[in-house]
């Protein structure tokens, strides 16, 4: 299969327009992961579609912004962090009109206690009123104490909160920066891989074989790049899931109707972009296939475990 | 309406992952019209479109952590969420199966019936479409805005699958040329 013909086929347009069944869409995604030309073409198509969508833009009714925000508050991931924020903000309301100053607390207590001696001396004479007065005073003292406690707790939390917030922000920024630099590293690695692959694919004798999933509803695809002249082959498992533990993928060439093993592939290869060179020399073959086998591989592919197959064209 | 700040796609993803009010405001200011435009074009009914738009924002908001930058742009990811949500709604209402669609009428109806027509943006779309042959635009429209697969388009319009693909390619090529100018 030649890349130019693939691009001209209209399959990529169908893909960006969302008109491909899942299995074919997986095939296109896999091609894009392996061919910079296809990836570039897809990106250009996506841009056109974005522009078409922008030309169709209609501002929603103004009230929707608040409506949607309210809805996000109810279901959004923010829900989890909200209650904490509400609790810590409550003392602000309760205590903010009080002087948030330690001196006020100590000053407050004598002020409340002061009227006590004249009334309290003759507790036994007016048993009916004194306890009531006492209760009131006690309540007032408790209230003052609680108020001061609340202020202290709030102030402390506020300080801690601010400190924590700042630390969290710094951590988030550092993390972001690390993520970005990691992303950049991944991208330059991918770019290098792409370049290498492009060079490999530019070889005139190079054939591309897209292996498609044999099972319905399973989103799998792989590619073999084969230069029959030099008997070299490369394989990519971009469109394959991680094999289950204890298993690995094995590559087969179908030669004169019989599967011939080309070797097993290390499990981490699955899902990774880029093609890996096949150690075995591949001189002939009508098709390629990948099966899931126990670690170390099998002499012949396990029936029912041949997951992707692709015929060599031309 | 021009935003004070424009974020790159990477910055936008990081911003959305914070889940802040600012993130939402930015998202809404910059993308709500495009998302609503797509949704409305698919479902046409205004109330339904508003419901779908809400779902679209909820989906974007809740799934942004799972967005994978290696699989494509966040913009495309969001457009697809809007398109898929709208098409799902359309399918759940059984509207897509209703009646036969005449390709030329289809195009005309779509442009003249929808309320979208009023806004300047939709005039933009009209201009683009005017530069595109009807048989080309109707295929783009059926696939992108109505969720038809290649097979369905081929059956619906009684044209071979290969022709559908070729027309899709020509249509997108023309759109590209149009946007370049």
Q: Is the pLDDT of residue B111 over 80?
A: no
Chain B residue numbers with beta carbons less than 8 Å from the beta carbon of A180 are: 10
- B contact test, residue of A23, A51, A58, A60 with most B CBs within 10 A: A58
* Rounded average pLDDT over A81-98: 35
Report helix, strand or coil for A47.
Answer: helix
Q: Is the pLDDT of residue A79 over 70?
A: no
Predicted TM-score of the model (pTM)? 0.53
Q: Is the pLDDT of residue A106 over 60?
A: no
Q: What is the pLDDT of residue B94?
A: 60
* Rounded average pLDDT over A29-55: 89
Please tell me which of the candidates A58, A179, A180 has its beta carbon nearest to residue B33. A58
Residue A170: band (very low, low, confident or very high) from pLDDT cuts 50, 70, 90: confident
What is the Cα–Cα distance from A27 to A210, expressed in whole angstroms? Answer: 7
Q: What is the pLDDT of residue A107?
A: 40
Answer with the residue of higher pLDDT: A233 or A77.
Answer: A233
Chain A residue numbers with beta carbons less than 8 Å from the beta carbon of B149 are: 19-21
Q: Which segment, A23-32, A35-44, A269-278, is predicted with the most confidence on average? A: A35-44
Predicted confidence (pLDDT) per residue in B22-74, tens digit: 889 999 999 999 999 999 988 888 899 999 999 999 999 999 988 888 778 89
- The secondary structure of chain B, three-state, reads CCCCCCCCHHHHHHHHHHCCHHHHHHHHHHHHHHHHHHHHHHHCCHHHHHHHHHHHHHHHHHHHHHCCHHHCCHHHHHHHHHHHHHHHHHHHCCHHHCCCCCHHHHHHHHHHHCHHHHCHHHHHHHHHHHCCCHHHHHHHHHHHHCCCCHHHHHHHHCCCHHHHHHHHHHHHHHHHHHHHC
Residue A17: band (very low, low, confident or very high) from pLDDT cuts 50, 70, 90: very high
* Rounded average pLDDT over A113-135: 46
* Rounded average pLDDT over B95-105: 41
Q: Is the pLDDT of residue A57 over 60?
A: yes
Predicted confidence (pLDDT) per residue in A257-299, tens digit: 889 999 898 888 888 777 788 888 888 889 999 999 998 889 8
Min mean pLDDT across A22-36, A101-115, A205-219, B146-160 is at A101-115
Q: Is the pLDDT of residue A130 over 60?
A: no
> Between chains, do B76 and A51 touch, taking CB under 8 Å as contact?
no
Closest chain A C-alpha to B66 CA, distance in angstroms:
13
Closest chain B C-alpha to A164 CA, distance in angstroms:
16
Which residues does residue A209 pair with via DSSP β-bridges, in sequence order?
A224
B144 at A interface, C-beta within 8 A: yes
Closest chain B C-alpha to A202 CA, distance in angstroms:
24
CA dihedral (A256, A261, A266, A272) in degrees, to 10, reads 0
Answer with the residue of higher pLDDT: B125 or B21.
Answer: B21
Alpha-carbon torsion (A96, A97, A103, A107), positive or negative? negative
Q: What is the pLDDT of residue A119?
A: 42
Q: What is the pLDDT of residue A33?
A: 84
Q: What is the pLDDT of residue A175?
A: 86
Q: Is the pLDDT of residue A125 over 90?
A: no
* Rounded average pLDDT over A222-229: 88
> Between chains, do A72 and B116 touch, taking CB under 8 Å as contact?
no
Please tell me which of the candidates A17, A58, A172 has its beta carbon nearest to residue B144. A17
Q: What is the pLDDT of residue B100?
A: 34
Closest chain B C-alpha to A90 CA, distance in angstroms:
21
Residue B121: band (very low, low, confident or very high) from pLDDT cuts 50, 70, 90: very low
* Rounded average pLDDT over A96-110: 39
Report helix, strand or coil for A263.
Answer: strand
Q: Is the pLDDT of residue A308 over 50?
A: yes
Min mean pLDDT across A11-20, A242-251, A295-304, B4-13 is at B4-13
Please tell me which of the candidates B19, B119, B153 has its beta carbon nearest to residue A77. B19
Residue A73: band (very low, low, confident or very high) from pLDDT cuts 50, 70, 90: confident
* Rounded average pLDDT over A240-248: 90
Q: What is the pLDDT of residue B58?
A: 94
Q: Is the pLDDT of residue A302 over 70?
A: yes
Distances (CA, A) of A130 to A31, A84, A219, A254, A297: 91, 43, 84, 104, 94
* CA distance from start to end of chain B: 24
Reported ipTM: 0.82
B131 at A interface, C-beta within 8 A: no
What is the Cα–Cα distance from A46 to A50, expressed in whole angstroms? Answer: 6
């Amino acid at each position: 299969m030649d890349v130019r013909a693939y691009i001209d086929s209209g399959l990529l347009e169908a893909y960006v327009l969302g008109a491909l069944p899942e299995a074919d869409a997986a095939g296109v995604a896999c091609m894009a992961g392996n061919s910079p030309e296809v990836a570039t073409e897809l990106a250009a198509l996506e841009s056109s579609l974005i522009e078409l969508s922008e030309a169709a833009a209609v501002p929603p009714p103004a009230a929707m912004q608040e409506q949607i925000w309210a809805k996000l508050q109810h279901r959004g991931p923010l829900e989890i962090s909200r209650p904490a924020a509400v609790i810590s903000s409550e003392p602000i309301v309760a205590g903010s009109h009080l002087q948030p100053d330690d001196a006020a607390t100590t000053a407050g207590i004598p002020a409340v206690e002061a009227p006590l001696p004249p009334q309290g001396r003759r507790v036994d004479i007016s048993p009916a009123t004194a306890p009531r007065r006492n209760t009131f005073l006690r309540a007032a003292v408790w209230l003052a104490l609680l108020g001061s406690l609340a202020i202290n707790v709030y102030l402390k939390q506020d300080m801690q909160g601010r400190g924590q917030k700042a630390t969290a922000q710094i951590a988030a920024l550092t993390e972001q920066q690390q993520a970005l630099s990691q992303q950049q590293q991944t991208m330059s690695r991918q770019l290098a891989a792409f370049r290498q692959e492009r060079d490999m694919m530019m070889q005139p004798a190079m054939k591309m074989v897209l292996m498609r999933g044999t099972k319905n509803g399973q989103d799998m695809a792989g590619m073999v790049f084969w230069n029959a002249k030099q008997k070299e082959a490369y394989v990519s498992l971009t469109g394959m899931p991680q094999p289950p533990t204890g298993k690995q993928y094995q590559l087969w060439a179908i030669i004169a109707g019989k599967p011939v093993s080309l070797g097993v592939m290390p499990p981490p290869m699955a899902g990774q972009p880029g093609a890996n060179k096949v150690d075995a020399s591949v001189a002939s073959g009508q098709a390629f296939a990948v099966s899931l086998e126990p670690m170390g591989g099998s002499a012949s592919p396990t029936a029912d475990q041949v997951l992707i197959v692709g015929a060599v064209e031309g | 309406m021009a935003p004070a700040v424009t974020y790159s796609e990477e910055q936008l993803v990081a911003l959305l992952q914070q889940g802040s009010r600012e993130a939402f405001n930015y998202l809404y200011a910059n993308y709500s019209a495009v998302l609503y435009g797509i949704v409305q074009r698919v479902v046409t009914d205004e109330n339904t479109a508003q419901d779908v738009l809400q779902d679209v924002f909820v989906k974007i908001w809740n799934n942004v952590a799972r967005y994978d930058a290696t699989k494509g742009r966040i913009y495309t990811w969001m457009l697809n969420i809007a398109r898929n949500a709208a098409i799902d709604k359309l399918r759940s209402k059984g509207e897509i199966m209703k009646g036969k669609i005449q390709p030329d009428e289809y195009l005309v109806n779509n442009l003249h019936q929808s309320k979208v027509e009023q806004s300047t943006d939709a005039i933009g779309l009209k201009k683009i479409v005017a530069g595109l042959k009807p048989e080309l635009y109707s295929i783009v429209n059926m696939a992108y805005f109505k969720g038809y697969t290649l097979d369905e388009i081929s059956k619906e319009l009684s044209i071979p699958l290969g022709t559908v693909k070729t027309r899709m390619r020509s249509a997108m090529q023309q759109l590209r040329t149009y946007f370049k100018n």
